[in-house]
Structure 1
Amino acid sequence: MPIFSIVIPLYNKEKEIRQTLSSVFAQTFNDFEVIVINDGSTDESEKQTLSFKDQRLKYFVTENRGISAARNLGIEKASASLISFLDADDYWYPNHLETLYALHRNYPQAGIVASNYEFLLPDNTVKKTIFKNIPNGFSGIVENVFAISMNDRALWTTAVVVKKEVFEAVGNFDNSITLGAGEDTDMWIRIALKYPVAYTKKVTTQYRLGAQNRVSHSQTLNRKFSRLDKFKAEEAYNKPLKKYLDMYRASYAFKHKLAGDHKTFRFYYTAIDTKNLSAKTRMLLWQPAFVLRLLHYLKTHLRYKKVYIDIYN
C-alpha cells in the first residue's frame, strides 16, 4: 500500500497535464499512487495522460460532474492513508511530498498539513505569498490558520495533504458548489475547525494563473458559490474566521454586482461586518455596477503592463 494517494481532477487540460504529471513523477519521495479522474474532457487530455507509462498511475473516466465530484471519486479510489491534491494545470517542486511527509511525521496530531506556495502569473513572473504573522523558516502547528490567511490563503488545494480518515469525519467536497466557486475553501474550513493544522513556510508548489484558468465575471451566474452561512455558529466566537469569511463574502459580492445579480450581492453584503474590510474594499462595495466594471477593465488592462492590483486589501 502506498503512503500517498495523489488525486488529480482533469478537465480539458491537454496543454498542461504533461508538465503537471512530470512534476509528480519527479518527486524525491516516490512511494505514491496517482489517481487521475478525467471529468468528461473533450480535448486530448486522455492521450496526454496515458502517454505516461508508470504503474503508479491509475486513470478513471467519468461524465462531466464537476471538480468536487471528481475529487470525491479520487478519495474513494485512494488506497493510501494520506491524500494529496494537485490541480491538472499546477506544478510541484521535487521536494513537495518529501516535505509534507516530514511535516506529517513531526506533527501526527494534525488532520491536515500544508506547505507554502508561489504564484506564476500569466506574464511568467513569480509572485510570493504574504503571511504577515508567520516568520520565515516556520514549521509547526498553526494556532489559528484563518488569522494568517488575510492576504493569501495558508491552505491551498495543491499544497495540502489530508488524512483519509479526516474525510470520514467531516464529509466529502460539497457537490452543490460548482466551477471553482469555493468548494475547496469550504472543505479546508471544515477540517481546520475540527483538527490541528501543521504548516511549513517552505515553498514546494506553484499555482499557475494562466489565462485559461480564470473564470470570467460573465460566467458568474452559471456558478454556484459557497454560501458561507454554514459557519455562522463558529464565526460568533472565532474572530479570525469571521474576518476571513467576510473577505470571501466581499469577493463574491463584487462578482455578483458585476454580473447584475443584486439579490445575491445583498445576500453576501448584508452578512459582512464591514470593520473587517479595508477602507478601499468598503468604498468599492458601495460603487454602482458600471463603475466596478470600468475599474475591473482598468485592472485587467494594467496586467498587460505588469501592474497588479488587489482590490481586497
Structure 2
Amino acid sequence: MAFDVSVIIPVYQRQELAVSALRSVLEQKGVTFEVIVVDDGSPDPFVLPADLADNDRIRLLRQPNAGAAAARNTGVRATSADWIAFLDSDDLWLPGKLAGQLAFARDGLLKGWPHLTAVMCGFTQIDLPSGSRRHRIPVESWNAAELAAGCWFGPGSTALIPRNAFEQAGLFDETLMRLEDLDWFMRVGLLGGGVATWPELAVTVRVGGRPSVKMLDDAVGRMRAKWLEGGRVDGDTRRNLAAYLALEQASARRHAGRWLGFLGCMTRSLLLRPRLRVPLRRWWTEDPAAAPQ
C-alpha cells in the first residue's frame, strides 16, 4: 500500500506514554500513513498493546541504545512515503493534525515554496515540573542565519518533512545527544531550504527533565568544532549560532543551580548578539484563542 506520510516514533523506556502517542497518530483521519516505532534499546522493551499487535500500519523496530538521532535515522531508512513526520514518545497529536498539515504543505509547494521546506505547526508546551502552559505558533523562515539561531521553529513532534530533504541534507548527526535538530535544520537552510508554519495548535508537547551540563556541553563542543572552528559558516549565521550555543549552556547551568556559570554564559550570548530578551528574537506568535504566555 502506498502511504501519504511515514510517521516515526522513537521510544526509550516510556511504555505507557508511547502507547498514548501511538494512539494519537492512529486517530488521525483523512490521510494514509504508516507508523514506524523505533525502540532505542529500552531495558524493558516496548511492547505493542494486544489490540494493535496485528495492525498492518505499524512496524516495530528495535536497535541497541544509541540515542534519539540514531533512532530517528533508523526510522527514516525504513520509510516509504514522500513525507515524513516525527512524534516524540511523550507528546501527543491532536485530531486533524496530519491531514491539515499535509494539505497546507502540498498547497505551499504548489505556490512556490523552496522544495526543501519543512512544515511545522503550532503547539501547546506543558512544563511538567510547574504545570505551566505556553501556546506557540512559530514564524516562517527560509533564512540560514535565522535557522542557526536555535530550535525556535518547534519541537520535532511538530515537523512534517519531505523525504527529499533527507536525501539532500543527510540524516541526523548521531554523535549529537542534544542539538541534533539544530544541526540538521542548519544544513537545510544552507541548501536554500527553510521552515513554513501551519498556524494551528495541533500538538501537545510535554517538557520534563533537562539535560545535564555535561551532556549539553558535549553537544555544544561538537557543534562548535563542526560549524565554528571548521569555518563552515560566517557573518550573521556564525554570530547567531555562537550566541545560541552560549544561551543553551546558560540554561543548563541555571537548571543545575550553577548561577556563576549561568551569568558567564548568558553574558557571552548577549555580547555576541545584543538584545533585550532571552531568545535571539521573538520567534513565536500567540494563538488568539489561547491563554497568554
TM-score range, shorter chain: 0.7 to 0.9
Q: Which aligned pairs between 1:186-265 and structure 2 lie closer than 5 A?
A: 186-194=183-191, 195-210=193-208, 213-217=209-213, 220=215, 224-225=219-220, 226-232=222-228, 235-237=233-235, 239=236, 242-243=239-240, 245-252=242-249, 255=252
CA distance in 1, matches of 2:200, 2:237: 23
The 1:103/1:229 distance shift into structure 2, 3 A limit, reads farther
The 1:183/1:148 distance shift into structure 2, 3 A limit, reads closer
User: Which residue does the alignment assign to 1:302?
Assistant: none
Unaligned residue ranges in structure 2 (runs of 5+): 279-292
CA distance in 1, matches of 2:100, 2:166: 22
User: Which residue does the alignment assign to 1:290?
Assistant: none
SS in 2 for 1:191: helix
SS in 1 for 2:160: strand
The number of aligned residues is: 264
* Contact 1:246–1:277 (Cα < 8 Å) also in 2: no
* Contact 1:26–1:94 (Cα < 8 Å) also in 2: yes
Residue 174 of structure 1 and its aligned partner are, at CA, apart by: 0.4
CA distance in 2, matches of 1:60, 1:86: 15
The 1:221/1:154 distance shift into structure 2, 3 A limit, reads closer
SS in 2 for 1:9: strand
User: Which residue does the alignment assign to 1:304?
Assistant: none
Q: Which aligned pairs between 1:250-289 and structure 2 lie closer than 5 A?
A: 250-252=247-249, 255=252, 274-278=271-275
TM-score, structure 2 as length reference = 0.75
User: Which residue does the alignment assign to 2:126?
Assistant: 120
Structure with higher RCO (Cα < 8 A, 6+ apart): 2
Given residue 215 of structure 1, which amino acid in structure 2 is its aligned partner?
P
Given residue 104 of structure 1, which amino acid in structure 2 is its aligned partner?
A
Residue 188 of structure 1 and its aligned partner are, at CA, apart by: 1.6
SS in 2 for 1:227: helix
TM-score, structure 1 as length reference = 0.71
CA distance in 1, matches of 2:145, 2:122: 15
Residue 165 of structure 1 and its aligned partner are, at CA, apart by: 1.5
For residues 22-61 of structure 1, the C-alpha deviation after alignment (integer angstroms, 9 at most, x for no partner) is: 1101112340000011111113x52255652421001111
The 1:280/1:142 distance shift into structure 2, 3 A limit, reads closer
User: Which residue does the alignment assign to 1:24?
Assistant: 25
SS in 2 for 1:142: coil
Q: Which aligned pairs between 1:113-152 and structure 2 lie closer than 5 A?
A: 113-122=119-128, 123-129=130-136, 134=139, 142-144=141-143, 147=146
* Contact 1:17–1:48 (Cα < 8 Å) also in 2: no
CA distance in 1, matches of 2:203, 2:148: 17
CA distance in 1, matches of 2:119, 2:31: 18
Identity in percent = 23
Residue 125 of structure 1 and its aligned partner are, at CA, apart by: 3.6
* Contact 1:81–1:163 (Cα < 8 Å) also in 2: yes
CA distance in 2, matches of 1:242, 1:50: 52
* Contact 1:118–1:127 (Cα < 8 Å) also in 2: yes
Residue 147 of structure 1 and its aligned partner are, at CA, apart by: 4.3
Residue 189 of structure 1 and its aligned partner are, at CA, apart by: 1.8
CA distance in 2, matches of 1:80, 1:259: 45
CA distance in 1, matches of 2:126, 2:186: 25
* Contact 1:247–1:277 (Cα < 8 Å) also in 2: no
* Contact 2:147–2:194 (Cα < 8 Å) also in 1: no
CA distance in 2, matches of 1:92, 1:162: 16
CA distance in 2, matches of 1:166, 1:151: 19
Residue 197 of structure 1 and its aligned partner are, at CA, apart by: 2.7
User: Which residue does the alignment assign to 1:34?
Assistant: 35
* Contact 1:39–1:66 (Cα < 8 Å) also in 2: yes
CA distance in 2, matches of 1:246, 1:234: 16
CA distance in 1, matches of 2:124, 2:145: 19
SS in 1 for 2:200: strand
